[in-house]
Amino acid sequence: MSMGAMSDVLGRATLVRLDVYDANARCAGATVADGAAPPTLSKVASAGQPIKLDVPAGRHVLLLSAFGDATGTQLLGSACIETDVKANQPACFNLALADAPDLAEPVADVDMAGTSGDVDLARQLCSSAPDSCPAGQYCATDGNCAAGCKAPGDCAATPVTPMCKTAEHRCVQCLVAGDCPLGKQCSPSGTCVDGCIPAAPNCKSGDQCCSMLCIDVASDIFNCGSCGRACSSAHVTTAGCNNKLCAPQCSSGWADCNHPISGTDDGCETNVNDVARCGACNAPACNLAHATPDCPAGACTVKSCNAGYFDCDAKASTGCECAGANLGGATPGCCPAGTCQTAHTDGFGHSFYDCISAYSEQLARDAAKAYAPTVNPFGNNCPNGTTKVICSMSATACTCWAYADTATSNPATGRARENTSAATCFCPTAGDQPWN
């Protein structure tokens, strides 16, 4: 509800209060008619500021009061309206504020039936010192008896409004704040409404007087821990306040790692999809072997491998655990079973990688590829025209495997094979064959 264009009364107001009554209440001019139950909801705000209400749909009576002071004791004027509120629709009300009445209100003529025939009591003359009017009436300023209380006992029969506001001759619910339960203040109209005065708060234990309302600062998200300390909405799906600490439900990928009791709240301030703190407030940084890490969903993953390393077991915890060369295939750099390549030497100080660990023709061929002398260093020990050579030791002979350009080459492989004795064919020593 917005204040809209301010009237003269609002222009002079410091504070406004909006009291919401149920459907049984009625307006009586600029105030609520006598006998109404206490309001179901009360809100206060600075003059000119909007007031937000959360009330059920249906008929309500709204009483707007304007005060000239910040404590809500100097009533400037009021306005009352009876209206129907519809669900999920904005409501606008044109409330014309009337100046607060003088203490001596004009009294309307009231015709009442007497016990001995019809008597016009409104014209009955009276004396105000002492008051000579019967019970339930008082001597008005015009010298006639008028309906209204003049002493506390006149309202005893009405438990909802048992006190007499003698200056206005009205039965009311309260006269001072002490007449109301904790968390309630006595409004100028004489009803107990939600509220307090900071200088003399009337709040239950644990509550604080915030903006003239008693607030439980242990659970209120707008006054969490102290008056005016609102919980931040940064990266928050649902705000919360628990035991004076903001306790939000965080958006995906964010966490509330900082819980300040005082000062400005920072909401869910920590990105837990960051490699520096992956998954939780106290999680360590992602540190993966031979890899650049990532944290896309609160868990460390391998973003990329360092040159010459591969992730063959698909486990982030081991990083890029395999050293080798890009062999191609479904998982480049890894053996078909998802294991690491085997490191070999060709016996001449040249290292290479493949997926074979025992002596085989394929291993000899791979070793030959690792060594390519421009001149055959072995003379006639291996076929003429060979340019790459490696030997594998068997139980009885040393077999030379080599690329060859001779007509005797195997058409399928382009390689020639020659068996020679160990004495004439160079073979690696034990120290040169870690691939054995």
- Beta strand extents in 218-269 (DSSP E only): 236-238, 241-242, 245-246, 249-250, 254-255
Banded model confidence at residue 45, pLDDT cuts 50, 70, 90: confident
Q: For the residues 397-413, what does the mean pLDDT come to?
A: 44
Q: Give the Cα separation of 138 and 65 in Å (integer).
A: 27
Least confident of 38-42, 61-65, 231-235, 337-341: 38-42
Q: Give the Cα separation of 219 and 359 in Å (integer).
A: 75
pLDDT at 247 over 70: yes
Question: Contact 415/409 with Cβ under 8 angstroms?
Answer: yes
pLDDT at 85 over 80: no
Q: Give the Cα separation of 357 and 369 in Å (integer).
A: 16
pLDDT of residue 178: 82
- 114-118, 349-353, 421-425: which has the highest mean pLDDT? 349-353
pLDDT of residue 90: 63
Tokens 């059920």, residue located: 56
pLDDT of residue 231: 94
Least confident of 71-80, 122-131, 143-152, 197-206: 122-131
Q: For the residues 23-28, what does the mean pLDDT come to?
A: 85
Backbone angle region of 395, left / alpha / beta, with phi > 0 → left and psi within -120 to 50 → alpha: alpha
pLDDT of residue 402: 45
pLDDT digits (tens, 9 = 90+) for 209-224: 888 888 999 999 999 9
pLDDT of residue 121: 33
Banded model confidence at residue 147, pLDDT cuts 50, 70, 90: confident
pLDDT of residue 337: 86
pLDDT digits (tens, 9 = 90+) for 268-283: 999 999 999 999 999 9
For residue 332, the number of C-alpha atoms closer than 13 Å in the C-beta half-sphere is: 7
Least confident of 141-155, 233-247, 345-359: 345-359
pTM passes above 0.85: no
Q: Give the Cα separation of 146 and 144 in Å (integer).
A: 6
Question: Contact 80/63 with Cβ under 8 angstroms?
Answer: yes
Q: Give the Cα separation of 325 and 209 in Å (integer).
A: 73
Average pLDDT across the chain, whole number? 75
Cα dist. 216→205, 220, 227, 245, 246 in Å?
9, 6, 10, 12, 13
Q: For the residues 22-38, what does the mean pLDDT come to?
A: 84
